[in-house]
Structure 1
Amino acid sequence: MSTLFTRIIHGEIPAQKVLEDDRYLAFLDIRPIRPGHTLVIPKIEHDYLFTLDDETLAGLLPFAKRVVPALEQVTGCKRVGVMVAGLEVPHTHLHLVPMNAISDLNFAHAKEGTAEALAAMGDRVREALRG
């Protein structure tokens, strides 16, 4: 059975995809803890970050790094925090969270994003990525 994220990769579930290549995908979290909260995943379906093959693991952070300047530009945050929780969906993923304080990295702040707000943020991030 495919994970929710694999279904997003295959276009079966809509998502605000902001960056994609043949190995990785970055898309906005539908329950952001901060505006611009982005998930970065490998396209291979694999549950646990620390059991990924070395090549896939080695490429994940450089791919995620490409998204960070766009998130900083669009949100005006001081930093983009990175979290790996890995319990919500059994598919390896990084959380990129625009933040101004460590307290911003708190899932208690998560709330469902509206389709309109997510689409607007997705447009802004994609535009910033195009430079």
Structure 2
Amino acid sequence: MATLFTKIIDGEIPGRFVWSDDVCVAFLTIEPLTDGHAMVVPRAELEQWTDADEQTWAHLQRVARIVAQAQQEEWAAPRIGMLLEGFLVPHLHVHVWPAFSADDFDPHAPMQDVPAERFDEAARRLRERLVAEGHGAHVPDA
């Protein structure tokens, strides 16, 4: 049975994509810790990071870093948070988000009632930053 993330990747459920390649995608989470909070998700349904082969794991880390650097530039964040997940959705995903203080690292306290327009704006900004940094080939709608 396909995971929630596979359904998003396959377009069955909408997602705000900021990256797409043959190995993975990145899209904004619907429960962000800060604006621009994205998840890097392998296309393959891997339940946890230890299930990923070395090449896939290295690729996910590389893309997470590229997205994180774009987030840091776009939101002028002093730090970037990163968290490996796979409990609520049994599909490996790497969270990356602009972090401004230790308070931003509380996965149990996401921003509440975020309007769709705010998500759309964050996705637009992150896509534009990725394009400006030379990654347009992997940015959907670029």
Shorter-chain TM range is: over 0.9
What is the aligned residue count? 131
Deviating 4+ runs (over 3 angstroms):
none
- TM-score in terms of structure 2 length: 0.86
Unaligned runs of 5+ in 2: 133-142
The sequence identity of aligned pairs, in percent, is 36
Report what 1:124 is aligned to.
Answer: 125
Note the C-alpha offset of 1:53. 1.7
- TM-score in terms of structure 1 length: 0.93
2:47 is the alignment partner of 1:55: no
CA deviation vs aligned residue, 1:22-47 (integer Å, no higher than 9, x gap): 11111001110111111001110111
Once residues 113 and 94 of structure 1 are traced to their aligned partners in structure 2, the CA distance between those partners, rounded to angstroms, is 21
Once residues 95 and 121 of structure 1 are traced to their aligned partners in structure 2, the CA distance between those partners, rounded to angstroms, is 15
Q: Is the 8 Å Cα contact of residues 68 and 97 (structure 2) preserved in structure 1?
A: no
Unaligned runs of 5+ in 1: none
* RMSD value, Cα: 1.2
Task: Specify the SS of the correspondent of 2:72.
Answer: helix
Relative distance call for 1:112 and 1:92 in structure 2 (3 A) is farther
Note the C-alpha offset of 1:112. 4.4
Q: Is the 8 Å Cα contact of residues 29 and 38 (structure 1) preserved in structure 2?
A: yes
